[in-house]
Structure 1
């Protein structure tokens, strides 16, 4: 059995017309299209609702959408299933989510990772061929699109349940793949917590764990009897407004061969400036894989993951400190002063006691739970 697993897909203004016309050759090129055509299953993460009438939910960050006609291009790419457990699946409300599901299923593209409630969203996707069964489990970190017992949305990663879900799936299947939508955008290494989570999935029976959402190629860890890909990168998602092209334009298509084992091959893909994707050519391919292998070796070093993440956190903490300062973020004089002072002003505006209190609120489970419920109440999103 051959399965291709790809990263995030979002039709954008650059390539939207190719999706609408179903021009898969323009979107992917012949060589890449042939790989998908000859695969038994092709599974991707759809990072946007498909809808023509917008009804954006209240959230921070962009509310994505793509025209319903784009489903024609998805079908032409030989996609067999979409994992939709991500932080954008409810961007246009539950109507947008269910409309997307109906559109995909009408094109014989299966949908998993979302549902009318948390129980339905947690249902895995099953593939059976030649006497072998493969189960695929999709879950996402908590943002604005997570299902609950009574609310529709995406399946959440939950330490109390997700590992048990994988263990139960392994008892029914020969092989298990986990699509975990989490991690920090544009960071190429796992955080210590992400590494622990992914390793635990393997310990519970996953043969392959793939983290998506970071929009960049990360690294690989062969852990026990499983494979972990920390950061698959995008498949088709042009993000020039949000980040450096180096991040979003390169991704990995995973070709998974299932026979007497689960063998994972990484195929680098590159997005051009017209929103068209192709297999990376020899020189670019070698450069991508060289850096990928280098990072994969780095995370094997004792203490590297923790120290690297600590450095990254020191660079990004000021952005988090700005949030509780509220109106100061919009004060133009303070913003100019902050730049002139090399972005240390917000750090100076909080003393050690304030930072310790903030740390305790977000680190302590009870404080964090109360903070979350309180913020939902005052922003009227409960």
Structure 2
């Protein structure tokens, strides 16, 4: 069985970037690093530009701009990250130049990416990964920041509104088909979607996620809310509505607790998702670590509640939640 690890938003800019100058590249991952290393493949949502370019996006108003020095890519390498999603609302925080620098930095580091590119075609291209004979593709979209969308000859993101319109679902089907033609047996559909600090997916978002599975995606990998949401299993496929944050410098909401999340691990066999494991984590400034004690229990309780509302029940272990998936 090939194990795929998925984490939510990894933001290496701003305060994290400053902290990294006094840290070893592996330090931000803390004691979560062995859980990542135990997986065969690792994917995160990279929510910043990696560039020395200092001129911010100016075409439309924007409050937050996240930029990390090129040396920050060593943090990703330290965790052996295989691929990142770049389809999000911070990839072009430092303009097209910042995005191009990010692409080149990742390419030099041997890290694959999906969801942004030098033009519309590259932004839509899947990243295909292989481990132990299993080929897994990452396709990535976002409904955030429409002005960031790539054009025929313009760098940008793989923008897609959340909708059941035939044109939108046609693009989903085309993306999954391209991943299959590239040799992937398993397709991970990454989507940076919706507003921040939302505890539960709307019914419209649930319908969209199921429609994505109906069009061939094997794992729905959502992020953007900054807090984890419940897990649904539909036609034997896991829908991770929101995987929360993972590394950042963000202020913590005392009620919504955006400093609590999970490392999600999916066991894949014969191209099919067969097992899901959720390891609770606690975020501190520029670091992540396993949650412990009463806080771990509160995080597990919260995920069981949210997932139970979606019809999903887990087997609870001391340090994680587990679920055997029935297959398609």
- Normalising by structure 2, report the TM-score: 0.84
2:201 counterpart SS class: coil
- Where 1:218 maps in the other structure, the secondary structure is coil
Q: Which residue of 1 aligns with 2:49?
A: 49
Contact 1:8/1:235 (<8 A) preserved: yes
Question: Hey, what does 2:321 align to over in structure 1?
Answer: none
Q: 2:266 aligns with which of 237, 256, 261?
A: 256
Residues 1:180 and 2:191 aligned together? yes
- Measure the CA separation in 2 of the matches of 1:258 and 1:249: 29
The aligned residue for residue 142 of structure 2 is 140
Name 2:217's counterpart in structure 1.
Answer: 206
Where does structure 2 lack aligned partners over 5 or more consecutive residues? 162-167, 313-328
Write the mapping of 1:99-110 to structure 2, written as runs, cut at 5 A. 99-110=101-112
Structure 1 residues 239 and 293, CA, compared in 2 at 3 Å: closer, same or farther? same
Q: Counting helix residues as a fraction of each chain, which structure ranks higher?
A: 1
Higher strand share: 2
Seen in structure 2, the aligned counterparts of structure 1 residues 267 and 4 have a Cα distance that, compared at 3 Å, is same
1:74 Cα deviation from its structure 2 partner: 2.3
| C-alpha distance in 2 between matches for 1:237 and 1:246 | 16
When residues 289 and 244 of structure 1 are mapped into structure 2, their CA distance, relative to the original with a 3 A threshold, is same
Greater Rg by CA: 1
Q: What are the within-5 Å matches in structure 2 for residues 354-373 of structure 1?
A: none
Check the 8 A contact 1:176/1:208 in 2, yes or no. yes
- Aligned-pair CA distance for 1:248: 2.4
Q: Is the 8 A contact 1:20 1:73 kept in 2?
A: no
CA shift for structure 1 position 170: 4.2
Contact 1:186 1:247 in 2 (8 A): no
Distance between the aligned counterparts of 2:106 and 2:196, measured in 1? Answer: 27
Match runs of 1:9-158 below 5 Å: 9-20=10-21, 23-29=24-30, 31-58=31-58, 59=60, 60-143=62-145, 144-157=147-160
Summarize the alignment of residues 293-304 of structure 1 with structure 2, pairs less than 5 Å apart. 293-300=304-311
> Measured at CA, do residues 111 and 161 of structure 1 come closer, stay the same or move farther in structure 2, by a change above 3 Å?
same
- Name the CA distance, whole Å, in 1 between partners of 2:133 and 2:27: 36
Cα 1:69–1:204, aligned 2, differ >3 Å: closer, same or farther? Answer: same
Consecutive aligned runs of 4 or more in structure 1 exceeding 4 Å deviation: 242-246
Structure 1: state its 5+ residue gaps.
Answer: 302-382
Change (3 A) 1:131 1:26: closer
1:230 CA drift (Å): 1.1
- 1:24–1:33 CA contact under 8 A, matched in 2: no
Pairing 1:162-241 to 2, within 5 Å after superposition: 162-170=172-180, 172-240=183-251
Task: Name the SS of the counterpart of 2:241 in structure 1.
Answer: strand
Q: How far is the alpha carbon of 1:98 from its aligned partner?
A: 0.9
Shift of 1:217: 0.8
Matched residues in 2 for 1:66 and 1:168: separation?
32
SS of the residue 1:247 aligns to:
coil
Contact 1:27-1:277 within 8 A present in 2 as well: yes
Aligned length: 298
CA distance 1:41–1:151, change in 2 (3 Å): same
Query: 1:235–1:133: structure 2 CA closer, same or farther, 3 Å change rule?
Result: same
Q: Deviations over 1:330-380 (max 9, x none)?
A: xxxxxxxxxxxxxxxxxxxxxxxxxxxxxxxxxxxxxxxxxxxxxxxxxxx
Alpha-carbon distance between aligned partners in 1 of 2:75 and 2:18, rounded to the nearest angstrom = 9
- The whole-number CA distance in structure 2 between the counterparts of 1:111 and 1:18 is 25
